[in-house]
Amino acid sequence: MNEIGLNMEKSQKLAESLNDLLANYQIFYSNVRGFHWNIKGDKFFELHVKFEELYNDLIIKIDEVAERILTLGFTPEHNYSTYIPTSEIKEAQQTSDGILNAKSILDSLKKLIAKQRVLLTMSGEIDDEGTNSLMSDYIREQEKLSWMYSAFLNK
């Protein structure tokens, strides 16, 4: 058992999945920062603010995921050299087109939600309420964001 009373072997598998989620969050965060800095066009004022709101939220989630890995008794990855090859979310190559940025955000949210649903199941199976609650909250928030970005894109 680890320090919080969970099976160590199962917690390690959960921590590995959380590190994968962390890698995806870090690349997503970096992309959204780029969108914020480089946005141009008629939606500049609207999207510049929205991208800032999003990256501020992402940095909090990044910290919470890393701290959850530590709480489980393991070490969060911190190197982009580890994140880049493992992340399903890839670095954005363009950052100035607001519509393409919104599509990229929507695609990234879809990937995060899918990963968090897997983590929700894994954490539920080992009675890890802390991780379970975190993932549940993230999914709820990001489903709403997905709806909002879809509405922006007329999807």
Mean pLDDT of 65-84: 98
Residue 144 CA, distance from chain mean position:
14
- Under the banding of pLDDT at 50, 70 and 90, the label for residue 103 is very high
**At a CB cut-off of 8 Å and minimum separation 6, what does 136 contact?**
120
- % the chain with pLDDT above 90: 99
For residue 53, tell me if it sits in a domain. Answer: yes
- Domain range for 87: 8-152
Mean pLDDT of 61-66: 98
Mean pLDDT of 31-48: 97
Total domains in the chain come to: 1
For residue 73, tell me if it sits in a domain. Answer: yes
Would you state the torsion angle of the CA atoms of residues 72, 78, 111, 53, taken in this order, to the nearest 10 degrees?
Answer: 100
Residue 93 burial (CB < 10 Å; 0-12/13-18/19+)? exposed
Structure token digits, residue 44: 């500049």
Mean pLDDT, all residues of the chain: 97
- Under the banding of pLDDT at 50, 70 and 90, the label for residue 155 is confident
Residue 134 has pLDDT above 90, yes or no: yes
For residue 1, tell me if it sits in a domain. Answer: no
- Under the banding of pLDDT at 50, 70 and 90, the label for residue 148 is very high
For residue 33, tell me if it sits in a domain. Answer: yes
For residue 2, tell me if it sits in a domain. Answer: no
Structure token digits, residue 34: 């780029």
Q: What is the CATH number of the domain that holds 81?
A: 1.20.1260.10
CA dist 73 and 52 (Å) reads 32
For residue 3, tell me if it sits in a domain. Answer: no
- % the chain with pLDDT above 70: 100
Are 18 and 68 in contact by the 8 Å Cβ rule? The answer is yes
Residue 146 has pLDDT above 90, yes or no: yes
CA dist 88 and 86 (Å) reads 6
Q: Is the pTM of this model over 0.85?
A: yes
